[in-house]
């Protein structure tokens, strides 16, 4: 479980002693530096590092970094809001000692996610990880609710010797093909070994649909740990690939056409240790609370896409009939609805039942995405929202009238549409708070301006290697 208490200047009781012991242990394992990692509003992982010997100091006082990164774009241009984007100010990055991990794919390095607090010792209002911690802790305190989450990771593996900027698939075999596993076997074995050494509980690894595409799924954790893990897993996938002369893209659309890379989020709500998606009186064993949680997500999905699919490239992926879930609807094990109700196999349901949110990609900041998904679900739960009828099969086959009759809406088809929906969604803006909501708007507007006039191929190329 993630520690839910905020970092404090000087360190929480015991932190410095713990960091001292941890630093000694890391040094003994040949670790020279610790990567301090967070994800910005645009979805880019940003870091600072400290030598291993400085870990106790970082645990006590944090490490400085400008708040300007909250309004960085994916291409490193800077936009601004009323309060963010100026060259002034400083924040302290506090490593979460519970999550310090020796990086098996990067000998000499360890990694830790950070919370960002101000120099006055307050939570930084732009810190997505702190926000998610708060939402999770409030749900536990006020409603006795906890969550389990996991982020699926899809990526395309390119040849390292491809011409600059180009994507040449590293494998030639078919989707889900045995050939592909042979072609990438040494890389994949090293990847699984690195995950195991890092304590990452991999559930599955397989070749995916698109050329050179693979997927790895991990076990569910509390939401903060799940977001941390998705960042760590991506760092590992990339690092191991590099050692094999390969290149990795997590972009939603490596190419303008065809199936993209998703980052589906699995989410379940629990009360007093009981999974609310199983053993209930509702459809497929959902309790009425789980049905209402699902209904809340459906209501807010249009605005949520500004967080779960935040890149102009996201909308090259979000097309019907590609299993990306572009219709606001739900269905049991339906891969074309935005929400796939996963019941799990008989015998495992009390543990395995969950909701898969499909219109999510890996350009998303996982902390912000999870914070807003949980808030949307809780909104439905608080209102005892009714869940409409299930949809089976591909909603793309419905005529406009049929779709309207079933209440099935197409999710935003562009970042501009998603941003409009976000602006209109008071709950999501309130969840983020004014500083982060403004940052999301400014950054999305900045991304839109950055691709203004570009055709799909150029949009795909612009974001191909940044995520
Ligand atoms: N690659 C698909 C996507 O873009 C997902 C395929 C799957 O269901 O795993 O989301
Ligand atoms: Mg997949």
161 within domain boundaries: yes
List alpha helices for 115-184, DSSP H.
128-143, 178-183
Same domain, 356 and 306: yes
Q: Give pLDDT tens digits for 62-73.
A: 999 999 999 999
Q: What is the DSSP string of 391-419?
A: --S-GGGS-HHHHHHHT-EEPPSSHHHHH
Cα(339) to centroid(ligand 1), Å: 13
Residue 373 has pLDDT above 90, yes or no: yes
Same domain, 167 and 53: no
Same domain, 100 and 184: no
72 within domain boundaries: yes
Mean of the pLDDT values across residues 145-154? 98
How far apart are the C-alpha atoms of 19 and 96, rounded to whole Å?
10
Q: Which residues of 186-197 are buried (b: 16+ CB within 10 A; e: fewer)?
A: ebbebbeebbee
374: tokens are 């949980």
Ligand 1 binding pocket includes 323 (Cβ within 6 Å): yes
Mean of the pLDDT values across residues 93-116? 97
pLDDT for the residue 5: 85
Q: Give pLDDT tens digits for 305-321.
A: 999 999 999 999 999 99
Q: What is the mean pLDDT of the chain?
A: 97
Same domain, 152 and 109: no
CATH number of the CATH domain containing 38: 3.10.20.70
Q: How confident is the model at residue 31 (pLDDT cuts 50, 70, 90)?
A: very high
Mean of the pLDDT values across residues 441-451? 98
- pLDDT, greater one: 301 or 84: 301
CATH number of the CATH domain containing 422: 3.30.590.10
Ligand 1 binding pocket includes 324 (Cβ within 6 Å): yes
**Which of 318, 324, 360, 362 is the best mutation target for the ligand 1 pocket, counting ligand atoms within 8 Å of the beta carbon and taking the most?**
324
pLDDT for the residue 377: 98
Q: Give pLDDT tens digits for 118-140.
A: 999 999 999 999 999 999 999 99
Ligand 1 binding pocket includes 319 (Cβ within 6 Å): no
Q: How much of the chain exceeds pLDDT 90, in percent?
A: 97
Question: Which domain does 350 fall in, by range?
Answer: 137-463
Same domain, 115 and 141: no
Mean of the pLDDT values across residues 50-69? 97
Ligand 1 binding pocket includes 335 (Cβ within 6 Å): yes
Residue 1 has pLDDT above 80, yes or no: no
Q: Give pLDDT tens digits for 262-280.
A: 999 999 999 999 999 999 9
Q: How confident is the model at residue 3 (pLDDT cuts 50, 70, 90)?
A: confident
Domain count, the chain: 2
pLDDT for the residue 231: 98
CB atoms within 10 A of CB 380: 23
Ligand 1 binding pocket includes 15 (Cβ within 6 Å): no
Cα(169) to centroid(ligand 2), Å: 17
Mean of the pLDDT values across residues 158-183? 95
Q: Which atom of ligand 1 is nearest to 213's Cα?
A: 1
Same domain, 193 and 256: yes
Ligand 1 binding pocket includes 225 (Cβ within 6 Å): no
Ligand 1 binding pocket includes 56 (Cβ within 6 Å): no
Same domain, 234 and 379: yes
Mean of the pLDDT values across residues 137-162? 97
Same domain, 158 and 54: no
Nearest Cα neighbor of 342 from 205, 140, 150 is 150
Q: Which atom of ligand 1 is nearest to 263's Cα?
A: 10
């Amino acid at each position: 479980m993630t520690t839910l208490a905020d970092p404090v200047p000087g360190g929480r009781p015991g932190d410095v002693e713990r960091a001292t012991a941890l630093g000694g242990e890391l040094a003994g394992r040949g670790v020279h530096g610790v990567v301090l990692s967070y994800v910005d509003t645009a979805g880019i992982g940003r870091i600072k590092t400290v030598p291993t010997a400085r870990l106790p100091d970082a645990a006590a006082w944090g490490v400085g970094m400008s708040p300007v990164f909250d309004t960085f774009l994916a291409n490193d241009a800077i936009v601004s809001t009323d309060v963010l984007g100026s060259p002034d100010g400083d924040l302290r990055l506090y490593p979460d000692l519970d999550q310090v991990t020796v990086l098996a794919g990067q000998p000499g390095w360890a990694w830790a996610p950070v919370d960002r607090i101000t120099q006055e010792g307050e939570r930084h209002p732009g810190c997505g990880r702190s926000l998610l911690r708060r939402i999770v802790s409030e749900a536990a305190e006020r409603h006795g609710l906890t969550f389990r989450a996991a982020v699926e990771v899809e990526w395309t593996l390119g040849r390292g010797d491809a011409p600059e900027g180009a994507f040449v698939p590293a494998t030639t075999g078919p989707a889900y093909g045995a050939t592909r596993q042979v072609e990438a076997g040494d890389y994949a074995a090293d990847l699984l070994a690195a995950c195991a050494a890092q304590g990452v509980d991999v559930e599955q690894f397989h070749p995916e649909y698109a050329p050179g595409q693979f997927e790895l799924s991990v076990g569910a954790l509390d939401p903060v740990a799940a977001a941390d893990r998705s960042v760590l897993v991506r760092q590992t996938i990339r690092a191991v690939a590099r050692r094999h002369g390969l290149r990795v893209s997590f972009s939603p659309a490596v190419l303008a056409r065809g199936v993209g890379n998703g980052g589906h989020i699995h989410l379940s709500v629990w009360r007093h240790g009981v999974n609310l998606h199983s053993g209930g009186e509702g459809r497929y064993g959902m309790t009425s609370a789980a049905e209402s949680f699902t209904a809340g997500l459906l209501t807010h999905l249009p605005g949520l896409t500004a967080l779960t699919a935040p890149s102009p490239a996201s909308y090259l992926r979000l097309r019907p009939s590609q299993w990306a879930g572009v219709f606001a609807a739900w269905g049991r094990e339906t891969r074309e609805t935005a929400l796939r109700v996963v019941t799990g196999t008989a015998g495992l349901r009390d543990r395995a039942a969950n909701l898969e949110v499909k219109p999510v990609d890996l350009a998303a900041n996982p902390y912000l995405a999870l914070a807003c998904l949980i808030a949307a679900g809780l909104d439905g739960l608080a209102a005892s929202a009714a869940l409409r009828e299930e949809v089976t099969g591909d909603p793309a086959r419905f005529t406009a009238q049929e779709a309207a009759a079933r209440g099935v809406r197409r999710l935003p088809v562009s970042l501009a549409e998603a941003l409009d929906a976000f602006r209109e969604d008071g709950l999501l803006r309130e969840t983020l708070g004014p500083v982060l909501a403004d940052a999301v708007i400014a950054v999305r507007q900045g991304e839109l301006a950055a691709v203004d006039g570009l055709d799909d191929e150029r949009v795909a190329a612009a974001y191909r290697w940044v995520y």
